């Protein structure tokens, strides 16, 4: 009987010790090193789309930012098997309530300190409104949070989001953004101003500055067959913006994920050179152009005509061009 009672008692003692140990582990939980020992660059929350195969959205943005030294926490606004340019795709779409639940989970564990918020494709007004609440919440933790917004709405005269998103971007998102990276069509939508010349592009930047963000980069403007980027940095509200352009060649192919990559690179380099947006843009454009040329060359090596379909970018193979780009495209400052 004594032997039996000892057998019965040992598991009970073990359970007690285990629960006591669990409490001890919880009390002495190890620090989150990205918070306790933050990188010199920053900690980014990136809310964008995700594909299992290929590089768009977060798949196109997270890796480059990590290469540039950032801790990046991705939230996938959608999770699809592949991008929507394929004949078919499967997957799930995150709604605003689910986004907020993820944020609540981070907050419950004191994980909401971020230096940057990055947003890309958003497909509904309700989700975009929740993103605005995310901005408020993150800035309540870190008032110096930099919000980099790629207002993905459309291209070449066509919207590919619901039309009601345009007014939400224009009236609510632009005023709280630190940096905007629209393409030509998106800049026109946000400013209600047609861009038909370089002067128009510069004026569109000024209109956006007046609405909120201190940094604006119109990432691609097509003028008479020439492509250029126009960047603008208003360093103080009572000062004129410093503006520049970068001219780059039009590669005869259609790529997916390039806008997401461009914005990530602009975030990465502009934070390293906060007072030199032109230098940041030179590095971003040079990285992108090297990657696109490699993509085209690799498709040709595989026996595929690059002009016959949309191309998946060669992101991993171009990591040296992302980390240490050779600046081949220089900024020209406007007087």
Q: What is the pLDDT of residues 313-335, one digit of tens each?
A: 999 999 999 999 999 999 999 98
Q: How confident is the model at residue 38 (pLDDT cuts 50, 70, 90)?
A: confident
% of the chain with per-residue pLDDT over 90: 80
pLDDT at position 27: 57
Among 37-46, 209-218, 293-302, whose mean pLDDT is lowest? 37-46
In the set 150, 200, 260, 321, the catalytic residue is 260
The DSSP element (H or E) to which 218 belongs, if any, is: strand 215-223
pLDDT at position 32: 82
Better-predicted residue by pLDDT, 262 or 41:
262
Rounded Cα gap, residues 209 and 203, in angstroms: 10
Mean per-residue pLDDT, 271-287: 97
| CB distance 115 to 146 below 8 Å | yes
Q: How confident is the model at residue 26 (pLDDT cuts 50, 70, 90)?
A: low
Contact residues for 312 (Cβ-Cβ < 8 A; gap 6+): 54, 55, 256, 257, 295
pLDDT one-digit tens code per residue, 103-121: 999 999 999 999 999 999 9
pLDDT at position 155: 92
pLDDT one-digit tens code per residue, 52-106: 999 999 999 999 999 999 999 999 999 999 988 889 999 999 999 999 999 999 9
Rounded Cα gap, residues 139 and 145, in angstroms: 6
The token duo for 141 is 């933790």
| CB distance 312 to 299 below 8 Å | no
The token duo for 179 is 């940096």
Rounded Cα gap, residues 311 and 305, in angstroms: 10
* Burial of 189 from C-beta contacts in 10 A (0-12 / 13-18 / 19+): buried
Rounded Cα gap, residues 221 and 233, in angstroms: 18
Q: How confident is the model at residue 22 (pLDDT cuts 50, 70, 90)?
A: very low
Is 71 a catalytic site residue? no
Rounded Cα gap, residues 255 and 257, in angstroms: 7
Average pLDDT over the chain reads 91
Mean per-residue pLDDT, 292-297: 96
% of the chain with per-residue pLDDT over 70: 92
pTM, entire model? 0.89
Residue with tokens 């991993």: 316
Q: Angle formed by the axes of helices 96-108 and 125-141, to 10°? A: 20
Q: Is the pLDDT of residue 10 over 60?
A: no
| CB distance 258 to 313 below 8 Å | yes
Give the strand pairing for 242-248 and 226-233. antiparallel
Contact residues for 79 (Cβ-Cβ < 8 A; gap 6+): 50, 51, 52, 91, 92, 94
Q: How confident is the model at residue 16 (pLDDT cuts 50, 70, 90)?
A: very low
| CB distance 226 to 233 below 8 Å | no
Mean per-residue pLDDT, 274-289: 98
Mean per-residue pLDDT, 290-299: 96
Return the number of other C-beta atoms located less than 10 Å from residue 305's C-beta.
Answer: 9
> Residue 264's closest CA among 45, 16, 2?
45
pLDDT one-digit tens code per residue, 190-220: 999 999 999 999 999 999 999 999 999 999 9
């Amino acid at each position: 009987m004594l032997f039996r009672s000892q057998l019965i008692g040992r598991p009970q003692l073990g359970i007690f010790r285990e629960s006591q140990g669990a409490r001890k582990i919880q009390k002495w939980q190890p620090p989150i090193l990205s918070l306790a020992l933050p990188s010199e660059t920053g900690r980014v929350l990136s809310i964008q789309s995700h594909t299992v195969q290929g590089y768009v959205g977060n798949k196109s943005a997270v890796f480059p930012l990590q290469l540039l030294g950032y801790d990046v926490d991705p939230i996938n606004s959608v999770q699809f098997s592949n991008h929507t340019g394929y004949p078919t795709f499967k997957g799930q779409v995150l709604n605003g309530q689910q986004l907020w639940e993820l944020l609540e989970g981070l907050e419950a564990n004191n994980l909401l300190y971020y230096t940057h918020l990055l947003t890309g494709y958003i497909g509904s007004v309700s989700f975009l409104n929740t993103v605005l609440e995310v901005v408020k919440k993150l800035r309540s933790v870190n008032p110096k949070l930099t919000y980099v917004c790629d207002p993905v709405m459309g291209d070449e005269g066509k919207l590919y989001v619901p039309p009601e998103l345009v007014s939400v971007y224009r009236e609510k998102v632009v005023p709280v953004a630190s940096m905007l990276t629209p393409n030509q069509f998106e800049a026109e939508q946000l400013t209600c101003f047609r861009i038909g010349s370089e002067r128009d592009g510069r004026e569109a930047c000024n209109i956006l500055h007046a609405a909120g963000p201190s940094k604006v980069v119109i990432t691609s403007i097509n003028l008479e067959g020439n492509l250029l980027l126009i960047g603008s940095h208003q360093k103080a509200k009572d000062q004129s913006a410093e503006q520049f352009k970068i001219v780059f060649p039009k590669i005869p192919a259609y790529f997916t994920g390039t806008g997401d990559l461009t914005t990530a690179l602009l975030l990465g380099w502009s934070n390293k050179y906060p007072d030199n947006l032109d230098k940041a843009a030179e590095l971003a454009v040079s990285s992108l152009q090297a990657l696109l040329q490699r993509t085209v060359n690799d498709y040709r090596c595989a026996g595929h005509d690059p002009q016959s379909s949309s191309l998946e970018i060669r992101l991993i193979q171009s990591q040296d061009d992302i980390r240490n780009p050779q600046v081949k495209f220089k900024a020209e400052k406007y007087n």
